[in-house]
Chain A
Amino acid sequence: MMKDFFQDFFVINMSAFFFFFTLELIKEGLVSNHFNLNIILVVIIFSGFLVLIYNLKKN
């Protein structure tokens, strides 16, 4: 159950990051003037690490 949760958490954050990244490419400053995208990147790395751990545990 926790493995599925962290996988979904990882995918949702990753999708949000790419969505905001695309918005920033389309209109410079839309995201970066008010929000630091690196915050989501940190969450992605953390949740990705947890997904790996749960996958390794299962094996």
Chain B
Amino acid sequence: MIVRLVKIFLILFFIALTVWLLWFDFVPGKNLVVNYDFCTTSPMLTEFSPGDRLWPVEKTQEGCWQKMAKSPVYFDVRTPQVFKTAEVEIKYKNLGEEKFQIGPQIIKNEWQWFLVDILPTEQTGEWQVVKINFNLENVYQGAPMMRWLVSAPNLEQNQQSIVIGAIKIVFQKDRLSFVNVTEQIKNYLRKIKR
């Protein structure tokens, strides 16, 4: 009897896990928050690449960061749904006050980017923190990954470097409702790898 109960529990556990994973992946709410602090890797956001343009990640008790030596560098974000906007919060040090931009790729496999200048804001300690809003309606979202570019075009020429301490992206869409359920299911299915 106990053996049978354990087996039933195990089967129900895997069914519940599947439903839970599908629910989280579908993003029924308004927001999806993706964090990368360089101390721990995030399954939703890849490490910066290519490696030869970056110094290795430095991990200290005060936090972790990575220095950009050449430009541009990329990272990919796994977006399980189609989103309307994204709010990017970036913590950085730009001591040389270099031109510094960030943005998503507009068309897949094309060199077209929706780049926005990261302008100096009020400083919190050694770091500067800036928030930028992106309208993603014209950005290609048919693939499971969304590529982002961080650019500082004169970095190598001026022999400067930019230190990035954290990136947080809040993706936003409409909350799941009876009105948009078919549209959101279609958007979700579009993300299936082809």
Q: Which residues of A contact B (CB under 8 A)?
A: 1, 4-5, 8-9, 12-13, 16, 19-20, 23, 25-35
Residues of chain B within 8 A of A30, CB atoms compared: 21-22, 25, 80
What separation, in Å, do the CA atoms of A23 and B19 have in the docked complex? 12
B43 at the binding interface (Cβ < 8 Å): yes
Q: How far is the CB of B10 from chain A (nearest CB, A)?
A: 5
Q: Which of A5, A25, A35 contacts B17 (CB 8 A)?
A: A35
Q: Which residues of B contact A (CB under 8 A)?
A: 3, 6-7, 10-11, 14, 17-18, 20-22, 24-25, 43-44, 78, 80, 144-145, 191-193
What separation, in Å, do the CA atoms of A29 and B43 have in the docked complex? 8
What separation, in Å, do the CA atoms of A26 and B22 have in the docked complex? 13
Interface of B is mostly: helix
What separation, in Å, do the CA atoms of A53 and B12 have in the docked complex? 27
Q: Given A12-B7, A27-B191, are A33 and B144 neighbors across the interface (CB < 8 Å)?
A: no
Q: How far is the CB of A50 from chain B (nearest CB, A)?
A: 14
Q: Are A33 and B192 in contact (CB under 8 A)?
A: no
Q: Given A8-B7, A33-B43, A33-B44, are A28 and B21 neighbors across the interface (CB < 8 Å)?
A: no
Q: Are A33 and B78 in contact (CB under 8 A)?
A: yes
What separation, in Å, do the CA atoms of A19 and B7 have in the docked complex? 17
What separation, in Å, do the CA atoms of A32 and B11 have in the docked complex? 20
Q: How far is the CB of B4 from chain A (nearest CB, A)?
A: 9
What separation, in Å, do the CA atoms of A28 and B191 have in the docked complex? 9
Sample of 6 further A-B pairs with CB below 8 A, known A9-B10, A34-B25: A5-B7, A9-B7, A12-B14, A23-B18, A33-B44, A34-B24
Residues of chain A within 8 A of B7, CB atoms compared: 5, 8-9, 12
Q: Are B78 and A26 in contact (CB under 8 A)?
A: no
Q: How far is the CB of A5 from chain B (nearest CB, A)?
A: 5
Kindly report which residue of chain A lies nearest to residue B13, judged by CB atoms: A16
What separation, in Å, do the CA atoms of A32 and B24 have in the docked complex? 11
Q: Are A33 and B17 in contact (CB under 8 A)?
A: no
Kindly report which residue of chain A lies nearest to residue B144, judged by CB atoms: A28
Q: How far is the CB of A47 from chain B (nearest CB, A)?
A: 11
- 3 closest A-B pairs (Cβ-Cβ)? A29-B78, A28-B144, A16-B14
- 28 CB contacts below 8 A, A to B, read A4-B3, A5-B7, A9-B7, A16-B14, A19-B14, A19-B18, A20-B18, A20-B21, A23-B21, A26-B192, A26-B193, A27-B25, A27-B80, A27-B192, A28-B144, A28-B145, A28-B193, A29-B43, A29-B78, A29-B80, A30-B21, A31-B21, A33-B24, A33-B25, A33-B80, A34-B21, A34-B24, A35-B17
